[in-house]
C-alpha cells in the first residue's frame, strides 16, 4: 500500500515538473526590451515605432510605420550610431556590423543590422514582426541598444555591399532601453 502511494506521488511530481517545463517552452519570457521612435528626415513624412524584445538568443522586432509610398518596399536596418541629428540621418552612420559580415539576406551570413524590408499597404502603412540575431541591454558587441534604426526610400537588394542599395533615409530612430 505504501509503495502505491509513493509511486503516485512520484508520478504527480514528474507530471507537475513536465507541465511547468512545457509552459516555459511555449511562452519564452522576454528579459529585455527597447523601443525606437522613428521621426521623418527632412522633406519626408515617414514615422512610426519599432519595439525590440530579447527572446532567447534572438531579438524580436515589431515595427509599425506610416507615411510610406503606397504598395512599396523599403530597406530597413539597424545603423551603427544612435544619432539622428542630421537632416538626412547620415549621422546614424552605416549598417551595424560588429561581426564583420557581408550585407545580405537573413538566410545566410549578414550584418547584425540587416533586417527584412518593410512592405507598405495601399495606405502607405507597414507592419512587420520578425526576429534578428543580436542582444539587448547586455553591453556585448552585438547589443543594439543605443544604435539607430533607418527606413530607406527603396527596397534592399540584399546583394550590393555594404548597403543593399536601399537609397535615401526616410526616417530615423534611436533604440532606447525600456
Task: Summarize pLDDT for 134-168 with one digit per residue, the tens.
Answer: 899 888 999 999 999 999 999 999 889 888 999 99
Its pTM stands at 0.81
pLDDT at position 170 is 98
Q: Is the pLDDT of residue 94 over 80?
A: yes
Higher pLDDT, 15 or 84: 84
Instruction: Give the C-alpha separation, 157 to 163, whole Å.
Output: 9
- Sign of the CA dihedral 28, 135, 132, 101? negative
Binning pLDDT at 50, 70 and 90, where does residue 9 land? very low
> Mean of the pLDDT values across residues 98-121?
88
Side-chain-side CA neighbours of 158 within 13 Å: the count stands at: 11
The residue ranges of every structural domain in the chain are 45-177
Domain at 45-177: CATH code: 2.60.40.200
Q: Is the pLDDT of residue 25 over 60?
A: no
CA 7 to chain centre: 48
Cell, residue 65: 510605420
pLDDT at position 27 is 36
CA 23 to chain centre: 25
- Torsion angles phi and psi, residue 23, rounded to 5: -60, -40
pLDDT at position 14 is 41
Amino acid at each position: 500500500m505504501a509503495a502505491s502511494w509513493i509511486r503516485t506521488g512520484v508520478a504527480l511530481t514528474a507530471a507537475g515538473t513536465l507541465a511547468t517545463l512545457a509552459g516555459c517552452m511555449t511562452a519564452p519570457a522576454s528579459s529585455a526590451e527597447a523601443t525606437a521612435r522613428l521621426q521623418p528626415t527632412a522633406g519626408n513624412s515617414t514615422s512610426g515605432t519599432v519595439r525590440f524584445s530579447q527572446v532567447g538568443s534572438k531579438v524580436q522586432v515589431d515595427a509599425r510605420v506610416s507615411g510610406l509610398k503606397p504598395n512599396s518596399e523599403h530597406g530597413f536596418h539597424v545603423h551603427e550610431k544612435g544619432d539622428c541629428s542630421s537632416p538626412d540621418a547620415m549621422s546614424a552612420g552605416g549598417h551595424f556590423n560588429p561581426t564583420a559580415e557581408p550585407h545580405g539576406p537573413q538566410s545566410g551570413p549578414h550584418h547584425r543590422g540587416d533586417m527584412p524590408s518593410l512592405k507598405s499597404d495601399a495606405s502607405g502603412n507597414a507592419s512587420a514582426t520578425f526576429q534578428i540575431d543580436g542582444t539587448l541591454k547586455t553591453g556585448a558587441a552585438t547589443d543594439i541598444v543605443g544604435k539607430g534604426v533607418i527606413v530607406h526610400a527603396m527596397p534592399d537588394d540584399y546583394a550590393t555591399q555594404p548597403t543593399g542599395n536601399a537609397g535615401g533615409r526616410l526616417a530615423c530612430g534611436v533604440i532606447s532601453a525600456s
